Amino acid sequence: MVALDLSGDRPTGESVVALHSTIKARASTPYFSYYPVGWISETRCVFAVQGTQTAGPNKGRRGVAVHVADVATGKTSESWEVAFIPTKDGTTLSSPVRAGKAFLQVPGAIWEFVMADQTLRLVKGNLPLGDRHLGQFSPQISPDGKHYMYDRWEDGLAGIYLLDTATGEERLLSGPGESASFYPSWSPDGRLIAAYTAERKKSPAPGVEQYPLNAFDVVYGEEGPLAAGAAITVFDLSGKVVQTVRVEGKWVTHFRWSPDSIHLGFVAGPVLRGEDILPDIEPDGLWLAKVGESPALLTAIGHSTPAERVYVGICAVDEDNRGLVYTEFREKSIATRRARVGAGGDAQDEIPGELNGWQVQRVPGYPSAGIVYSEGTPSVWTLTPEKWTRILASGTGHSLLLAGYNGDVLVVADSPLINWYAYKPGTSVGKTVVRVYRWVKTQG
């Protein structure tokens, strides 16, 4: 675990401050990870170490250790391990710091870490472990940090829930009835929640008692229900339905919120089924809907032959809320494109390759930043409604990570891809190169 000094005050070669390290053999084992948590002050940061601990008061124990480090000295010590959560195998997720608090999600529980006094508190335990057949348990923290949201599909607990992070109280937001909603997502301002909605089947499949979602018309993929439904339902935090967005005769999938929190971009099309293929949604159009209004078709998705399989994923809604950025996968090509309101149904702009929609970073008033992979070569782009600009490109066999972006400074980590299954302890895996870009205003 390292910190990067962006002040420019340190001598060349000393801007990377080592905070914590472990033996390579331990780092290559499953479920060992570092997680940045946040900053207590200008020089003190918090991070989590997940896995079997190699040092400190919990050496040899498996769990999540919360550490405090001082970047001024670049040192940690045993006394700086300020909290420990015992866990078994599983992944830890940390939330951004909001109102001086961060949250750690470990298998079966959510914990609160207060930055000022460095204390740990259990928010809620006995949570499901994420079996997709019982519901994709993936808690999402609200923009203000006051609630977690998730769906549960255990027998007798089916529905979308809100968890109060202050009290640990769990409240049902939307339960199954004639329809059921699932895979919820916060609007950027935290006032609304959107989720896919499926209608109840007239003749439910066997196993409804064990898997409540089987009673509804959902499409199952290889790992569970697809993120698709007959409609997208928008709720407020009381559970009141604000709007149901649908395209008659189509399924909707891949929705994304707009920056203004009142538009939804999505893909629509029929369900594709066959003996030799997994069920999926066959995209035939990209749509943009303003909450409270009917959706508008931005562009149709054509097929060169009736048998051609096309996959479309929406990466982002443009900053001006009038267009969609999406990646289109075809048999012989992958391209990232943009469709705009008033463009006559034609796609505008194109980048060869796939834009990673989950890594797109946004800062209000500045271009978005994202990573595009083209034939195994990653590159970083900035995106505005008017212009797409490539900032840098790496080489084949490398991966890029947007380590930080605040509009004025962009930090990119460039690392060689590592096959951990073939890795032998002691073997060099190359170096990670960190690049820092600063925007400079010029006249004209």
Could you tell me the residue ranges of all domains in the chain?
1-125, 356-444
Tokens of 159: 């529905």
How high is the pLDDT of residue 4?
83
How high is the pLDDT of residue 31?
64
How high is the pLDDT of residue 222?
77
How high is the pLDDT of residue 131?
44
Length of the chain as a residue count: 444
Mean pLDDT within 195-216? 74
How high is the pLDDT of residue 234?
97
* Backbone φ, ψ for residue 193 (5° rounding): -135, 130
Three-state SS string over the chain comes to CEEECCCCCCCCCCCEEECCCCCHHHHCCCCCEEEEEEECCCCEEEEEEEEECCCCCCCCCEEEEEEEEECCCCECCHHHEEEEEECCCCCCEECCCECCEEEEEECCEEEEEECCCCEEEEEECCCCCCCHHHCCCCCEECCCCCEEEEEECCCCCCEEEEEECCCCCEEEEECCCCEEEEEEEECCCCCEEEEEEEEECCCCCCCCCCCHHHHECCCECCCCECCEECEEEEEECCCCEEEEECCCCCEEEEEEECCCCCEEEEEEECEEEECCEEEEECCCEEEEEECCCCCEEEEECCCCCCCCCCEEEEEEECCCCCEEEEEEECCCCEEEEEEECCCCCCEEEEEECEECHHHCECCCCCCEEEEEEECCEEEEEEECCCCEEEEEECCCCEEEEEEEECCCEEEEEEEECCCCCCCCCCCCCCCCEEEEEECCCCCC
How high is the pLDDT of residue 421?
65
Mean pLDDT within 11-37? 71
Asked if pLDDT for residue 148 goes beyond 90, the answer is yes
Asked if pLDDT for residue 133 goes beyond 50, the answer is no
What percent of the chain has pLDDT above 90?
41
How high is the pLDDT of residue 423?
63
| Residues 48, 32: Cα–Cα separation, whole Å | 11
Tokens of 405: 């972006």
pLDDT in tens, 371-430: 999 988 999 999 888 888 999 999 888 889 998 898 889 999 998 887 766 666 666 667
Contact 133, 224 (CB under 8 A): yes
Burial class (CB in 10 A: 0-12, 13-18, 19+), 174: buried
How high is the pLDDT of residue 428?
66
| Residues 68, 119: Cα–Cα separation, whole Å | 12
How high is the pLDDT of residue 340?
85
More reliable by pLDDT, 258 or 205 = 258
In the predicted model, what is the mean pLDDT of the chain?
84
Asked if pLDDT for residue 213 goes beyond 90, the answer is no
pLDDT in tens, 289-344: 999 999 999 999 988 787 788 999 999 999 888 899 999 999 889 999 988 876 54
Tokens of 354: 């796939």
Mean pLDDT within 135-143? 78
Which residues have a Cβ under 8 Å from the Cβ of 150 and sit 6 or more positions away? 137, 138, 139, 140, 160, 161, 163, 184
Asked if pLDDT for residue 207 goes beyond 80, the answer is no
Mean pLDDT within 24-48? 77
pLDDT band, very low/low/confident/very high, at 23 (cuts 50, 70, 90): low
